[in-house]
């Protein structure tokens, strides 16, 4: 373990990959398989590593609400400290389990009991599984920032045709079928395939989703990039968010019934 800024970090230096995880938010900061020259899960150079402040990049765990469905944006789980329950290493990589149970730091946001845990496998592939027990409906996303060579060459396939537009109508990008980027994009795809690919002309990243109802795609493009203090002006060119989640079909959990979803990332 080490620290970045104010935050305790688990640094992973394995023969299969390099990665780092903060206890705040159970946040995977980056993941770079040994075969790759650049991180597949991307972190902004401008992010803060401050207690109680969201991290820009990696995999923010949006829980128990997505976006502005509550306050703070994307839920409180990403800004409070989780517990590291286990960290095991073998030839295939490193497996971590982190969890968060209602406590003093979560009480200002939620008075009901809950437990949420995140299993991470970090090796040649990256596997992320979120499980929770709670007596209320939950919206959630694993808000993954993927590292790409150049947004101009990116194609995301497998999103399907049905989506909710999150931008004002006058800014709507017109794309049908596979998604390419030439302006800001912010959409919730509600009928995506189980498998999606992100290609940038250099590599192809494949995502395999489990129990996911929605896939969010986001790139802030030029103006929003400039407006975000924790994001470099040109960084919109080297990232794209493709976020597996349960938003339009919230997770129906209970204290006795676990809800689970997640995904696998592979470079193919």
Catalytic residue numbers read: 143, 243
Sole window of 67-75, 151-159, 176-184, 201-209 interacting with ligand BG6 (rule: CB under 6 A): 67-75
Residue 74 within binding range of ligand BG6, rule CB under 6 A: yes
Residue 27 within binding range of ligand BG6, rule CB under 6 A: no
Residue 143 within binding range of ligand BG6, rule CB under 6 A: yes
Residue 218 within binding range of ligand BG6, rule CB under 6 A: yes
Q: What single DSSP character describes residue 56?
A: S
Nearer to ligand BG6, 14 or 74 (CB): 74
Residue 213's beta-bridge partner residues? none
Q: What single DSSP character describes residue 43?
A: B
Sole window of 66-74, 90-98, 100-108, 145-153 interacting with ligand BG6 (rule: CB under 6 A): 66-74
SS3 call for 8: strand
Residues 84 and 117: their CA atoms lie apart, in Å, by 10
Residue 237 within binding range of ligand BG6, rule CB under 6 A: no
The structure tokens 């780092």 sit at 20
Residue 186 within binding range of ligand BG6, rule CB under 6 A: yes
- Pick the closest to residue 91 from 124, 120, 119, 118 (CA basis): 124
Strand order in the sheet with 7-13: 2-4, 7-13, 17-22, 27-33
Residue 184 within binding range of ligand BG6, rule CB under 6 A: no
Residue 41 within binding range of ligand BG6, rule CB under 6 A: no
242 contacts 215 by C-beta, under 8 angstroms: yes
Q: How open is the CA angle 97-102-105, to the nearest 5 degrees? A: 100
Residue 54 within binding range of ligand BG6, rule CB under 6 A: yes
Residue of 81, 127, 200, 243 that binds ligand BG6 (CB under 6 A):
243
Can you give the binding site for ligand BG6, defined by CB under 6 A? 54, 67, 73-74, 143, 166, 186, 216, 218, 243
């Amino acid at each position: 373990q080490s620290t970045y800024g104010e935050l305790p970090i688990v640094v992973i230096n394995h023969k299969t990959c390099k990665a780092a995880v903060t206890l705040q938010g159970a946040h995977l900061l980056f993941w770079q398989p040994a075969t790759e020259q650049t991180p597949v899960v991307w972190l902004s150079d401008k992010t803060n590593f401050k207690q109680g402040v969201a991290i820009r990049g990696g995999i923010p765990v949006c829980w128990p609400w997505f976006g502005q469905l509550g306050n703070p944006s994307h839920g409180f789980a990403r800004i409070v400290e989780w517990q590291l329950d286990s960290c095991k290493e073998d030839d295939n990589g490193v497996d971590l389990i982190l969890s968060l149970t209602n406590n003093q730091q979560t009480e200002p946001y939620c008075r009901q009991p809950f437990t949420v845990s995140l299993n991470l496998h970090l090796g040649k592939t990256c596997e992320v599984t979120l499980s929770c027990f709670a007596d209320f409906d939950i919206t959630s996303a694993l808000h993954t920032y993927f590292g790409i060579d150049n947004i101009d060459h990116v194609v995301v396939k497998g999103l399907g045709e049905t989506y909710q537009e999150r931008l004002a109508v006058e800014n709507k990008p017109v794309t049908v079928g596979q998604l390419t980027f030439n302006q800001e994009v912010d959409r919730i795809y509600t009928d995506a395939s189980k498998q999606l690919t992100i290609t940038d002309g250099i590599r192809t990243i494949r995502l395999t989703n489990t129990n996911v109802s929605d896939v969010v795609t986001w790139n802030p493009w030029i103006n929003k990039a400039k407006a975000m203090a924790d994001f470099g002006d040109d960084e919109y060119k080297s990232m794209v968010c493709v976020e597996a989640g349960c938003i339009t079909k919230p997770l129906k959990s209970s204290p006795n019934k676990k809800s689970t979803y997640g995904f696998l990332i592979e470079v193919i």
